[in-house]
A and B are shown apart, each in its own frame.
Chain A
Amino acid sequence: MKRTILPVLASAAFAMVATAATAGTLDDIKAKGHVQCGVSQGVPGFSNPDDKGNWAGLDVDFCRAVAAAVFGNGDAIKFTPLSAKERFTALQSGEIDILSRNTTWTMTRDTTLGLNFPGVTYYDGQGFMVRKSLGIASALELSGASVCTQTGTTTELNVADYFRAKNMQYEIVAFEKADEVVQAYDAGRCDVFTTDASGLYAHRLKMTNPDEHIVLPEIISKEPLGPAVRDDDVAWFKVVRWVYFALLNAEELGVTQANAEEMKGAESPNIKRLLGTEGEFGPSVGLDKDWALNVIKAVGNYGEIFNRNVGPDTPLGISRGLNALWTDGGIQYAPPVR
């Protein structure tokens, strides 16, 4: 027995010594044939499985865009649903290639967790939801309230800051899963449900009577939400970042899912460079020349993604606001492809 155990132990130990340095994430992804994308466990409009089990939403479409850029196919993708608490560990450990799960870009996360944030796909802020029947019009009337939220979020910290700064009492009830937060709030455990404003609109759809709840006007924080990748692979970071910029540039240049093919023949050099008929932009990040064309054919431009998932005509009914292009009074702005 001893004779067999010892070599096994020794070789296991050697295996651990060889550090986990991989080739590049992009090469790994190409080799395995799909992008592994970390999403939420269900936030309608952002990442939510439909009744057939297909994931849909703004965060999901962003991942599909990345998959389309790499493989020319927005379905070359697998999803890993993650709670707020699990998400960073999943990314750090390499279980997922990209985290696209209403995640706020903060300095701590950017500098100490080994993460990089390629861009902001949704500018948000934290809000409060209460029952209409309470007759409350402002967050300043919330002193003494019980507040339900999810653990492992920026939300938890913002509430603490806000109530302390305003010298108001509160009680925080923090659950691990979003579904339990909603259930507990729905059951009356809390007066207030707080998270990113977009999340409030999304989760309101899950309540017994969505019409009985209102979102208060105060927005108490900045929540720039976007994808995250590991920070030991700059090449992959650039891929994700330029997919995001391609989505914005496409909207700005009027390239849509419907007209992308024919826009290839357009006069504008900007469009030509974006769609790969001019220059070597795709190959400069390790992708094909028509990377952006594939992205837009798969999911449309940023505006189309927004409107399809969370826009005014969806149950969430969110207007573009800050998320409009800079040319329309918003702050979504992308450097040029050139």
Chain B
Amino acid sequence: MAIQETARTPDKASVLNDPKVRGWIYQIVVVALIVWFGWEIITNTAENLKARNIAGGFGFLNINAGFGITQSLITYSELSSYGRALVVGLLNTLLVAGLGVFFATIFGFLIGVARLSNNWLISRIATVYVEVLRNIPLLLQIFFWYFAVLRAVPNPRDSIALPGDVFLNNRGLFTPRVIFEEGSGLIGWSVLAAIVVWIGIYFWARRRQEATGQQFPVFLSGLGLLIVLPILAWLVTGMPLSLETPELRGFNFVGGTRIIPEFVGLLLALSAYTAAFIAEIVRAGIMAVSHGQTEAAHALGLRNGPTLRLVIIPQALRVIIPPLTSQYLNLTKNSSLAVAIAYPDLVSVGGTVLNQTGQAVEVIGIWMAVYLSISVLTSMFMNWYNSHIALVER
């Protein structure tokens, strides 16, 4: 022991030989190189652009866009700026991605469960669905849905009239629009109130069930509230709502709310395609839960539905969530194929801006930053959700 210690101390002479110090030095050098590399790319690009007389900078965002956009969630006209046009595109991307995630999740779960069904026909149909949709390139599916939708419906003059002043033609689906007149604020508040009470009932019912074992019809009572309260508010305030119905004028329907075919085609394609992948993830997740769990639940007297809902799915979710997250990210990124069928998403509008202004580097930078942010936010949320539902070992 003593010999060893004396032999070691004089060796400690050079700091450079300390693995810790060396580690730090290496890391600092690497970081410095990366920063320098990035800096060179930026300044070099700027110099080259200048040498070739290509204008640079983000000043163009304030200039009038001058082009029209079919679908816009905020007010937009040709007189709006390029910056605003990009925001319109971003919102359109979020809209189609958000709804796509919603529908893909629902269909994906249904199909995934269906694939495990004991019913031969149902499980085969689900299998065929998954195999077909997974194996055809998404762009082709987008074209298919878009042109299938377009060719299947008539032109505006021969529109299909659905009950309730709803019209369908190759310019889109036209529905009546609710117009909120003066004094209709109370209706909005009543909706909010109904939701708050619903949440309250949920927690109250859960605590009561834990304490007494009695169940309460939370969903039905909540839904009832959500319907009854606004109607009451509407009656009390003197019925301040009116309907604007679409009507055929000239080339097309005017008034009401409109859903454009590009949106429908893209949404269908994205949801159907991603649902096939989600179905497989769900199937894998459910199969990962050991059969003993089902038997145990049955032994406790739970029927098939509650077994799936209360025992299997919560455990399967642990396996499902991480790959599900990457499907959500894929769907969002795939929505950039929109430009092929003229849906004005961020890439489509950005492309037009890029072309009208020639600011390729800036616009591509904006694209990358936006998709990166959306993806990072989605991942963060899903990771949070995953840790929230993670099985707590007891």
Residues of A within 8 A of B (CB): 2, 6, 9-10, 12-13, 16-17, 19-21, 84-85, 88-89, 92, 108-109, 112-114, 142-146, 148, 151-153, 156-157, 159-161, 164, 170-177, 180, 183-184, 187-189, 191, 230-232
Contacts and interface: CB of A to CB of B under 8 A. Distances in A.
Contact of B355 (A84, A114, A172, A177): A84
A180 B342 contact: yes
Contacts of A145: 250-252
A16 B171 contact: no
A114 B70 contact: no
Contacts of B30: 2, 6
Contacts of B33: 6, 9-10, 13
Given A151-B348, A157-B67, A183-B147, A173 B354 contact: no
Contacts of A232: 51-53
Interface in B335-368: 339-342, 344, 348, 351-352, 354-358, 360
Contacts of B262: 173
Interface of B: 26, 29-30, 33, 36-37, 40-41, 44, 47-49, 51-55, 66-70, 78, 147, 150-151, 155, 170-171, 249-252, 254, 261-262, 339-342, 344, 348, 351-352, 354-358, 360
19 contacts: A10-B33, A88-B360, A108-B357, A112-B53, A112-B357, A142-B251, A144-B250, A145-B250, A145-B251, A146-B252, A153-B355, A170-B68, A172-B70, A173-B262, A174-B67, A184-B150, A188-B170, A189-B170, A231-B53
B340 A114 contact: no
Interface on chain B toward A: helix, strand, loop, or mixed SS? helix
Interface on chain A toward B: helix, strand, loop, or mixed SS? mixed
B54 A112 contact: yes
Contacts of A146: 171, 251-252
B52 A151 contact: no
Given A19-B51, A85-B351, A88-B358, A143 B250 contact: yes
A261 to B, nearest CB: 41
A80 B202 CA distance: 63
Given A9-B33, A144-B251, A146-B252, 12 more contacts: A6-B30, A16-B41, A113-B358, A114-B53, A144-B254, A145-B252, A151-B339, A151-B355, A161-B66, A174-B67, A175-B340, A232-B51
A188 B172 CA distance: 12
Given A88-B358, A157-B67, A187-B147, A2 B170 contact: no
Contacts of A172: 67-70
Nearest to A154: B356
A184 B340 CA distance: 11
B150 A187 contact: yes
Contacts of B67: 156-157, 160, 172, 174
Given A172-B70, A180-B341, A13 B36 contact: yes
